[in-house]
Amino acid sequence: MTSLSIPLASLILLSVNLWAQQKPNILLIMADDLGAENLACYGNTVYSTPNLDRMAAEGARFENAFSTPVCTSTRAMILTSLYPNRSGFLERLDSPLDPEKTNRLPLHLKTFGQVFQEAGYKTAIAGKWHLGDFQTHPDQPNSHGFEEHCLWVQYWDGKRPSRYYGPHIIENGHYTAHPEEVFGPDYYSDFLIDFMERNQDGPFLAYFPMNLIHGPLIVPPKYKAFAESKYPDDLGKNERKAGHMTTYMDAIVGKMLDKLKELGLDENTLVIFTGDNGTGGNLTSRLGDLHLRGGKRTMNEAGTRVPFIARWLGKIPPGTRNPFFTLMDVMPTIASIADIPITHEIDGQNLAHNFLDKSGKDREQFFMAFEGGVYFVRDHRFRLHEDGRLYDVSVSTNKTRYNMNPLDPKLHPESRHELQKHLNTYMEIHQTDTSYSIVPFGTNGDNFKNAQDQKK
């Protein structure tokens, strides 16, 4: 090697290191069956969530974040930035899996894992996949952009292993039936912590779709000693268990935030926390004197409103955000923050300006679909359902938000007519193979508006 080549090699190495340091890491955490009303920072007056409260105080807490009302649809939506009827995942996967149905996320659907991997990020996923069968499709999730994975095996040989104690896990292609002393949520979080440690020179994307707090309701390992304490005397048994699971989930989030700080990465890591759908209907949450039944699998506020907190120390100004945010918007938003262009077709909208509390084009409306032909379209004033029910959603309190009655069908005819036109366009899009041939769409969140304009 010549004397000139040595400094050149050093400069190349320095430039690579500087690029890695400048690109933000991404830690995306999504809880299971956790409506917004379960967190203290969203008004819950019974459950303890100090780490998420701290994260909300240090970042942006979105008041109007929405998902689909069921697990599989949301998991496809957040990964692909496509509406669920666009991706073909309107229903949850069967139990056990139906061999006659598609039991995987289609390979032609591009995920945020692939987007970040192609941009040079190290990528990993741990927790719950719920988008396909590992036994018949072992290439998941590597083929969707995740270099490393550690995921609960939901079905194997026609059986459903435990979700929590003694889970069966596929870890980087290797299937293991773990003993009872292994608690799944701890195992998955430790896997991602190890991933972050090994890739601390960055940049990395770590995706943690949790199992908590989905049923069966259990008592986490460190809570058995005081499982009947800290709650009001009239709190039900199920709610007590859910409370312990929620607090344990919060502690796992805290453990990961602490690790980022220990590694010196907390100021160069965008951390997002959200949920996949509303709380299970067997649980009642308390927000002061409001006792709210969980809304999972229902197309209302309790079924589709989820927590959404984004923290990036020194970059995201702390405070509440009121504009709409759907989980479909995650991909274009985090890609924009990482300065990664989106060149393929999506339905999500880049809302990075909402994170940064700057001016920009907010989401004005969104659509939602659920199995059985159930749909709605929502803007800032109204929510219109496929059966003609119209709700006034210009709410100011939790009581009004979660206790809406449909309006008189004779009221607001102009708004009803305009929303119905948009909803009709959306309802025509039902395509399980996702060939993108029904309605043209782009990368700016205006897909359905553009389609409607073309019909005029």
Cβ-defined contacts of 424-432 (< 8 Å, 24+):
425/451, 425/452, 425/455, 426/83, 426/85, 426/367, 426/369, 426/375, 426/377, 427/369, 427/375, 427/386, 429/83, 429/85, 429/86, 430/85, 430/90, 431/85, 431/86, 431/88, 432/88, 432/102
Among the ranges given (298-312, 351-365, 424-438), the one the predictor scored with the smallest mean pLDDT: 424-438
Is residue 295 located within the same domain as residue 388? no
Residue 218 has pLDDT above 90, yes or no: yes
Percent of the chain whose pLDDT exceeds 90: 73
Residue 437 has pLDDT above 90, yes or no: no
Closest C-alpha to 150, from 128, 132, 126 = 126
Residue 442 has pLDDT above 70, yes or no: no
What is the pLDDT, as a whole number, of residue 13?
A: 46
Is residue 443 located within the same domain as residue 304? no
CATH label of the domain that carries residue 50: 3.40.720.10
What is the pLDDT, as a whole number, of residue 73?
A: 93
Is residue 391 located within the same domain as residue 319? no
What is the pLDDT, as a whole number, of residue 30?
A: 99
What is the pLDDT, as a whole number, of residue 11?
A: 47
Tokens 């974040």 appear where? 65
In a domain, 332, yes or no: yes
- Identify whether the C-beta of residue 126 lies closer than 8 Å to the C-beta of residue 151: yes
Residue 21 has pLDDT above 80, yes or no: no
Residue 234 has pLDDT above 90, yes or no: yes
Is residue 147 located within the same domain as residue 35? yes
End position of a domain, from candidates 360, 379, 397: 360
**Average pLDDT of 310-337?**
98
Residue 453 has pLDDT above 90, yes or no: no
Domain that holds residue 330: 21-360
Residue 445 has pLDDT above 70, yes or no: no
In a domain, 5, yes or no: no
CA geometry: angle 78, 83, 87, nearest 5 deg: 90
Residue 257 has pLDDT above 80, yes or no: yes
Tell me the pTM.
0.90
The DSSP call for residue 217 is P
End position of a domain, from candidates 360, 386, 421: 360
Is residue 78 located within the same domain as residue 199? yes
Q: How many residues does the chain have?
A: 456
Residue 284 has pLDDT above 70, yes or no: yes
Number of structural domains in the chain: 2
Is residue 353 located within the same domain as residue 392? no
Residue 420 has pLDDT above 70, yes or no: yes
Convert the pLDDT of each residue in 97-114 to its tens digit: 565 555 788 889 999 999
More confident residue, 441 or 374: 374
End position of a domain, from candidates 340, 360, 380: 360
Convert the pLDDT of each residue in 391-417 to its tens digit: 999 977 888 899 999 999 999 999 999
Is residue 30 located within the same domain as residue 108? yes
Confidence of residue 194 (pLDDT cuts 50, 70, 90): very high
Is residue 177 located within the same domain as residue 227? yes
In a domain, 11, yes or no: no
More confident residue, 95 or 189: 189
**Average pLDDT of 171-191?**
97
What is the pLDDT, as a whole number, of residue 431?
A: 47
**Average pLDDT of 31-50?**
97
